[in-house]
C-alpha cells in the first residue's frame, strides 16, 4: 500500500475544562488542565498511523520543546515525519476551552512555523506527494501551500481530500482539485452561504460544492453522522456510538483519518465514511485529540468488518 500523505499543522493543545467560558475581563476557576499533541493535520496523521496505514506528515516545526512533543507523538503512532525545522519561528499551540457538562469546545490555533509553509516547500516535496495513495490537507497552513499540493496530487492521479477546517475563502481553482471535500455543518454554511440545519440543507450545500468542481462532498453532521453527496449518491451515514461522549475536540480529525484509510484500502466513499464514523465514535469517548485515536482492531470492531488488505 502506498503511503497516505498529510500536509498540515502540529500544535501543542492546552486544554482547559470549566463550567463555562469567562466573559471579557473576567477570571474564573477551571476544573482541570491538560497539555498534549494536536493540530488538525497531525491528529489526522496520528489517526491514520494508529489504524495501521503507512503515513507521512509534511509540515514545519520550530526548534523547541513542542517540536519534541510532535516527534515523540508521531514516533508512537507510526507516522513518518517530513519536517522542515524552522528555528526562527515556534512550534504551534492551541487554546482549547471544554465545557464540562457537554464536552463541546471552542478553540484558538496559533500555527507558528507551519504558517510559513510555502508553495516552494511543496514543490520540493513533489515526489513524496506524487507517490501517495491518498493526499489529505486542511486549512490551518497557508491556502497557497494546500492549493499547490492538491494540484500536484491531482495531476499524479492521487486521491485528494481537502478538510476545509478552519473555514476560509477558497480560490475557485481549488475546488476541481478535490476528489473529496469534508466540511462540517458550520464550514459548509460559510463556504456556500446556505444555512445547514436539515439534511436537505446539507444536500443543497453539497450541490453548491459539486457545481464548483468538487468530486464528492462528505459533510460531517455531528451526532447525525455524515452525508456523502456526489454524482449518483446522496447517502447519510449514521454516527456510531461507542459509549458516553467525553470530548468532541478531535472527532472531525478522527473521521477524516478513518475516511482516508478507508479510501486507501479500497472502500467505496459511503463505506469509507462508515469506517470514519466508527473511528470518530470511539475518539469522542476519550480525553484529548491525538491520544483519543483508536487502533485498527477497535475501529474494525465498531465498523463491523475487517478492512480489505
Q: Give catalytic residue positions.
A: 253
Alpha helices in 169-307 (DSSP H): 185-192, 199-211, 251-264, 269-283, 296-303
Q: Assess contact for 229 and 203: CB atoms under 8 A.
A: yes
Rounded distance between C-alpha atoms, residue 276 and residue 288, angstroms: 18
Q: Cell 474564573 identifies what position?
A: 28
Q: Cell 477546517 identifies what position?
A: 165
Rounded distance between C-alpha atoms, residue 164 and residue 205, angstroms: 14
Q: Cell 500555527 identifies what position?
A: 111
Rounded distance between C-alpha atoms, residue 15 and residue 37, angstroms: 10
Q: Name the β-bridge partners of 89.
A: none
Length of the chain: 309
If DSSP codes are grouped into helix, strand and coil, which group holds residue 236? strand
Q: Name the β-bridge partners of 217.
A: 181, 229
Rounded distance between C-alpha atoms, residue 112 and residue 89, angstroms: 6
Sheet holding 11-18, edge to edge: 32-38, 11-18, 91-99, 105-112
- Which are the contacts of 33, defined by CB distance < 8 A and separation ≥ 6? 14, 15, 16, 17
Amino acid at each position: 500500500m502506498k503511503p497516505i500523505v498529510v500536509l498540515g499543522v502540529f500544535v501543542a493543545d492546552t486544554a482547559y475544562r470549566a463550567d463555562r467560558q469567562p466573559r471579557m475581563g473576567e477570571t474564573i476557576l477551571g476544573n482541570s488542565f491538560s497539555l498534549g499533541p494536536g493540530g488538525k493535520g497531525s491528529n489526522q496523521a496520528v489517526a491514520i498511523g494508529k489504524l495501521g496505514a503507512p503515513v507521512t506528515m509534511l509540515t514545519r516545526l520550530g526548534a523547541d520543546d513542542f517540536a519534541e512533543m510532535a516527534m515523540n507523538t508521531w514516533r508512537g503512532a507510526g507516522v513518518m515525519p517530513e519536517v522542515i525545522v524552522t528555528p526562527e519561528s515556534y512550534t504551534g499551540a492551541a487554546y482549547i476551552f471544554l465545557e464540562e457538562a457537554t464536552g463541546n469546545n471552542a478553540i484558538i490555533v496559533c500555527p507558528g512555523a507551519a504558517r510559513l509553509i510555502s508553495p516552494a516547500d511543496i514543490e520540493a516535496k513533489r515526489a513524496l506527494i506524487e507517490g501517495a495513495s491518498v493526499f489529505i490537507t486542511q486549512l490551518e497552513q497557508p491556502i497557497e501551500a494546500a492549493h499547490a499540493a492538491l494540484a500536484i496530487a491531482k495531476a499524479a492521479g492521487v486521491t485528494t481530500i481537502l478538510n476545509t477546517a478552519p473555514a476560509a475563502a477558497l480560490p475557485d481553482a481549488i475546488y476541481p482539485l478535490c476528489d473529496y471535500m469534508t466540511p462540517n455543518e458550520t464550514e459548509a454554511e460559510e463556504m456556500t452561504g446556505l444555512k445547514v440545519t436539515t439534511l436537505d440543507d446539507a444536500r443543497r450545500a453539497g450541490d453548491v460544492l459539486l457545481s464548483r468542481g468538487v468530486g464528492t462532498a462528505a459533510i460531517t453532521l455531528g451526532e447525525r453522522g455524515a452525508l456523502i453527496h456526489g454524482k449518483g449518491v446522496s447517502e447519510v451515514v449514521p454516527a456510531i456510538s461507542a459509549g458516553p461522549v467525553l470530548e468532541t475536540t478531535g472527532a472531525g480529525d478522527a473521521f477524516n483519518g478513518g475516511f482516508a484509510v478507508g479510501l486507501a484500502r479500497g472502500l467505496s466513499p459511503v463505506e469509507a465514511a462508515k469506517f470514519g464514523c466508527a473511528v470518530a465514535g470511539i475518539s469522542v469517548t476519550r480525553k484529548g485529540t491525538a491520544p483519543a485515536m483508536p487502533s485498527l482492531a477497535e475501529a474494525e470492531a465498531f465498523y463491523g468488518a475487517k478492512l480489505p488488505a
